[in-house]
Amino acid sequence: NAGVTQTPKFQVLKTGQSMTLQCAQDMNHNSMYWYRQDPGMGLRLIYYSASEGTTDKGEVPNGYNVSRLNKREFSLRLESAAPSQTSVYFCASSEPLKGWTGAYEQYFGPGTRLTVT
Amino acid sequence: QQPVQSPQAVILREGEDAVINCSSSKALYSVHWYRQKHGEAPVFLMILLKGGEQKGHDKISASFNEKKQQSSLYLTASQLSYSGTYFCGTENTGNQFYFGTGTSLTVIP
């Protein structure tokens, strides 16, 4: 199993350009997430999808859109990139822990390092 | 709503113990702990649920004080491989999940 994969690994954009970050998981998980990680800020949730066909805003959704294309894939789109969106972006998926109610483990992809100039 | 972690950074010698604390202003349902090595993705360590259940790592333990809305991660007899940044993640009773700002742990020989 590849787990959670993300493309691209690195990207440089100019202000105003658009791009889509791709994420796929092969673990048959229902829930998927997009986070951004900035120095000193930890991981902040941008959007999440509890199941195919549903998406919800997280803590910092402004400037982003998402698509849950199918159970495997969850993409993040920046319509008009801004320097404030320079960050490392992580995709994650999760499954409930067997035999536990309300407990789950998140599996993270390797991240995309995005720089907006 | 982001939980607060302390300390922000700690340096240990191999074999020493460390405690990392995580505190929330909201009533919590669960606390998750993750470790991230430099340049890599975070990796799940353990989860503690309200009511006392926990599932986790065989060399790392943690506690969850529901009344104080706090959790502590205990790293005993630290090894070089323990180096990294530790994040707590808290899920409150409104099903909102937030990661803390992280604690950088460096273990030196």
Q: Cβ of A110 under 8 Å from any chain B Cβ?
A: yes
B62: helix, strand or coil: strand
| pLDDT of B91 strictly over 70 | yes
C-alpha–C-alpha distance, residues B89 and B42, integer Å = 11
Which residue from B minimizes the CA distance to A6?
B41
Which band of pLDDT confidence, cut at 50, 70 and 90, is reported for residue B58?
A: low
Name every residue whose Cβ is closer than 8 Å to that of residue A62 and which is 6 or more positions away in sequence.
none
Which band of pLDDT confidence, cut at 50, 70 and 90, is reported for residue B49?
A: confident
The helix (run of H) or strand (run of E) holding residue B98 is strand B97-99
State both tokens at A86: 């320079």
DSSP state of B3: P
Please report residues of A whose CB lies closer than 8 A to that of B30.
102-103
Which residue from B minimizes the CA distance to A39?
B101
**Residue labelled with tokens 């975070």:** B42
Q: What is the pLDDT of residue B7?
A: 96
Which of A5, A10, A25, A43 to mutate against chain B (most B CBs within 10 Å)? A43
Nearest CA of chain B to the CA of A113: how many Å? 10
Phi, psi of B50 (to 5 degrees): -55, 130
C-alpha–C-alpha distance, residues B42 and B87, integer Å = 8
A90 contacts A35 by C-beta, under 8 angstroms: yes
Mean pLDDT for all residues in chain B: 89
Taken as a whole, chain B contains a residue count of 109
CB within 8 Å: B42 and A100: no
Q: What is the pLDDT of residue B36?
A: 96
Which of A4, A98, A108, A113 to mutate against chain B (most B CBs within 10 Å)? A108
Taking residues A9-15, what's their average pLDDT? 97
Phi, psi of B44 (to 5 degrees): -65, 135
Q: Cβ of B56 under 8 Å from any chain A Cβ?
A: no
C-alpha–C-alpha distance, residues B90 and B27, integer Å = 10
Q: What is the pLDDT of residue A8?
A: 97
Which residue from B minimizes the CA distance to A111?
B41
Name every residue whose Cβ is closer than 8 Å to that of residue B9 and which is 6 or more positions away in sequence.
B103, B104, B105, B106
